[in-house]
Chain A
Amino acid sequence: MQPKLTRFELDRLAEHYKLDPPGVDVLLEASEAKPTAPEIHRFLMRMLGVGGLISLAASLVFFVAANWSRLAVFGRFGLLELVLLGCALVAILKPPSATLGRAALFLAFVTTGALLALFGQTYQTGADVYELFLTWTLLGLPIAILGNWSVTSAAWLLVLNVALMLFCGWQPIGGLLWAVFGGQPRQPALLLLVPTWLNIILWFVFEGFRVEAVPGWVRRLAISCAFGFGSWAAILGIVDSPSSALAVTGVLLAMALVAFHSREKRQDIYPLAVVFGSAILIGVVFIGHTMEFRDEGVLLVMAIWLIGTSAFAAKFLASTARDWREGSAA
């Protein structure tokens, strides 16, 4: 849905050529800045369809959470399994890329999570919440692959990141990830490098192998999660000195790799913007921590850092975006 020109550029053209309203209409049409009637119709249809699907999925999750006493345990499991079976049948009869098949597999993905939650709720397994999300990620992976739909891929990525956040943020004892990392002396900053790099690896994989199910916006989601964790890791590393060098080096390496790859590809400046945003944030914390807030001058230095680096980043990103756009159009 990206138009040829931004609204800002269109405003400048309208101003420069002193266009009247019919002239602006032509401008909007020529730049494909105004959706056509069929496009509007399709958007509305998709919005209602996806909204309806998410409502049904939410209904299922709410139902499990309600722990309704009038329905016996067997009935609750039976109901969810019937929904899962129904979704599977629909997906077999109308396999993706049919809309119905994709929707059914999205619902199947959510139902898998709901079933796991019901299992934990019923049998009091003692599992940590992160284990629920992690198991959901693993069991839901084949469904997400079969679903071949960006919405299901994004949901899967979010579930994975919630699992990682719960594990790395709260550091519970027990479960699969604990078995892997539990024996080591765990420094939170270093632990946070794991989700950072996992998201970056996913981003690299789907940058290399472009598939319909992982379009640009899902890749952007992955890189945002990566540097969300990355910034967290570096900030903790700076504050918690024993792990600072390794944590900050790990994040800097990730930044360098992503920046290098983006510069090579010359397609999307979003990853570069995320790298800049993360570097600015880490920098401001570094200044505050290193100067130990000795006096109010530190605040001024932090403000100047923010102003200077964000101004540089904006100028660099704007000119890079323009160069890449012109390069791709040429």
Chain B
Amino acid sequence: MSASSLAVIEALRARGLVPSDLEPPVFDESHRPWFVSLMLGAAGWLAGILLLVFIGITFKPDDSVTLIVLGLVGMVGAWAMYRAESDNAFLGQLALSLSIAGQISLAIGLLQDVNSELLIAVVLLVLQLGVLVVMPDRTARTIAALFACIAWTYVVRFATFPQSDWDDWFEPLQDGELSSARVVVGWLATWTPLVGFAAWLVNREPDWMSKPLRDYLRPALSGVLITVAAGGFATEPLVMATLGPGSMGVDLGWWSLFPLLSIALAAFAAWCAFRLRNLGLLGLAIAASLVHLGRFYYLFGTSLMWKSAIMLGMGMLLIAAAYLLRKRLPAEDAP
């Protein structure tokens, strides 16, 4: 038990919130900084894919039923390992890899004969929500929450803009195919629930922290904030599923402002990360907003003069807002 933990527990005791005879909890491996979790998640994900390819080459499962059975076996195995694991990091990491391999196998088994992009996105969303609820591990839940949010953006996208074949997935919509109403509705339908959910979770943190729900909502909050910070491009009308090389050279129109909305989403994620004092998420949100700015530069044709004017206006507006806020800050609190 660290000195900081003891000091906090003492503060709780002083206010009569903690009985004096109750022992403090034991934190086994509890302090896992964000970059260690990131390393674990990335390694587990890559190992899961390698495992899946190994199984694919070795057993050559070629029909849906075998893939589904393999997927379920992998996921049940992972679940059992998570339940059995107490302080065994190797078993935990093996479970994560098995879970990833199982999910991919299950998804391929369920979806290999499906042609509807919308249905694919819906099934993946349901699968990830299932993993979020069932897998008793923080890293696995965070990854599931992230993929569930990504699946959600594509559920709305394919519901708003149904597409005829897979090739369309990598192509931006052409100007003539766009309808302002559908673009705006699609954007709002994607982000309003995610932004609203994140805001609610941040504002009502003490409420859900006091309930067992915290084991699900904490990873969900991380997944939502990562998606809000980095995933804005997925709902930009001329960019869609890719990072948008196809939209280079397209005439500048009001669609070009969408990367700025992605920056606004990243700024919102940064704001939430600060409220949670989460340095990793804050860094990610800042990096994502710079990437969105870079995309604003590279995409949408050559009307850089307009873009320059837009950035000038935005810069002046933001600095004026910062100045006004500074004036409202009491002198003793000024930096």
Give the B-binding residues of A (Cβ under 8 A).
1-17, 19-28, 30-31, 33-35, 38, 40-49, 51-56, 58-63, 65-68, 99, 217, 269-270, 273-274, 276-277, 280, 284, 296-297, 299-300, 302-304, 306-315, 317-319, 321-322, 325-326, 329-330
CB of B222, distance to nearest CB on chain A (Å): 9
* Residue in B93, B297, B322, B326 whose CB lies within 8 Å of A307: B93
Give the docked Cα–Cα distance between A277 and B205 (Å).
33
Check if A296 sits within 8 Å of B58, measured CB to CB: yes
Partner-binding segment picked from B45-53, B191-199, B226-234? B45-53
Q: Which residues of B contact A13 (CB under 8 A)?
A: 5, 8-9, 12, 25
Decide: A62 and B206 in contact? CB cutoff 8 A: no
User: Are B29's CB and A318's CB within 8 A?
Assistant: yes
- Residue in contact with B47 in the complex, picked from A14, A15, A307, A322, CB distance below 8 Å: A307
Q: List 15 A-B contacts (CB under 8 A).
A: A5-B5, A6-B31, A7-B278, A13-B25, A14-B210, A21-B210, A35-B277, A38-B330, A41-B329, A55-B318, A59-B311, A66-B303, A273-B36, A284-B46, A321-B31
Distance, CA A313 to CA B29, complexed state (A): 12
Q: Is the CB of A66 within 8 A of B304?
A: yes
B114 interface contact, C-beta 8 A? no
Closest to A322 in B: B31
With A58-B293, A58-B297, A99-B335 given, is the CB distance from A19 to B17 under 8 Å?
A: yes
B4, B57, B314: which contacts A5 (Cβ < 8 A)?
B4
**Cβ B214 vs Cβ A11 within 8 A:** yes
Kindly state the separation between the CA atoms of A45 and B326 in the bound complex, as whole angstroms.
Answer: 7
Q: Tell me the smallest distance from the CB of B8 to a CB of chain A, in Å.
A: 5
The smallest C-beta distance from A54 to any residue of chain B, in angstroms, reads: 7
Interface residue? B308 (CB, 8 A) = yes
With a cutoff of 8 Å between Cβ atoms, the chain A residues found around residue B241 in the complex are: none
B247-305 interface with A by 8 A CB criterion: 267, 270-271, 274-279, 283, 289-290, 293, 297, 302-305
Contact (Cβ within 8 A) A11 B36:
no
Are B329 and A45 closer than 8 Å at their CB atoms?
yes
- List chain A residues, Cβ under 8 A from B39: 273, 276-277, 280, 310, 313-314
Given contacts A62-B311, A306-B46, whether A22 and B206 have CB atoms under 8 Å apart is yes
Contact of A6 among B22, B30, B46, B303 (CB under 8 A): B30
Instruction: Please tell me if the beta carbons of A62 and B308 are within 8 angstroms of each other in the complex.
Output: yes
B5 and A9 within 8 A (CB) = yes
Give the docked Cα–Cα distance between A309 and B209 (Å).
33
Complex Cα–Cα for A5 and B3 (A): 10
Q: Please give me the 3 A-B residue pairs with the lowest Cβ-Cβ distance, nearest first.
A: A52-B318, A55-B315, A66-B304
SS of B interface (majority) = helix
Residues of B within 8 A of A315 (CB): 29, 89
Cα–Cα, bound, A60→B305 (Å): 10
Contacts of B207 in A (CB 8 A): 21, 24
B159: shortest Cβ distance to chain A, in Å? 33
- Taking a contact as CB atoms under 8 Å apart, the answer to whether B89 and A59 are in contact is no
Contact of A38 among B40, B209, B267, B333 (CB under 8 A): B333
Kindly list chain A residues whose C-beta atoms are within 8 Å of the C-beta of B315. 52-56, 58-59
- Decide if A7 touches B218 in the complex (CB within 8 Å): yes
In the complex, which of the residues B94, B212, B271, B297 contacts A65, with contact meaning CB atoms closer than 8 Å? B297
Q: Which residues from chain A contact B7 at a C-beta distance below 8 Å?
A: 4, 30
Does A329 lie within 8 Å of B50, measured CB to CB? no
| Contact of A63 with B308 in the complex, beta carbons under 8 Å | yes
Contact between chains at A296 and B54 (CB < 8 Å) = yes
Cα separation A83 to B211 with both chains bound (whole Å): 56
Q: List, in ascending order, chain B residues with CB within 8 A of A8's CB.
A: 30-32, 138, 218
A45 → chain B closest CB, angstroms: 4
Output the nearest chain A residue to B5 by Cβ-Cβ distance: A5
Cα A11 to Cα B210 with chains together (Å): 8
Starting from the known contacts A68-B305, A314-B89, 14 additional A-B residue pairs (CB-CB under 8 Å) come to A6-B32, A23-B12, A34-B277, A41-B325, A41-B329, A43-B274, A63-B308, A306-B44, A306-B46, A307-B43, A307-B47, A314-B29, A317-B32, A318-B36
Q: Which residue of A lies closest to B304 (CB)?
A: A66
Contact yes or no, A3 B277, CB < 8 A: yes
Q: Is B321 an interface residue (CB 8 A)?
A: yes
Whether B8 contacts A303 by the Cβ 8 Å rule is no
Instruction: Give the docked Cα–Cα distance between A304 and B47 (Å).
Output: 7
Q: Which residue of A lies closest to B7 (CB)?
A: A4
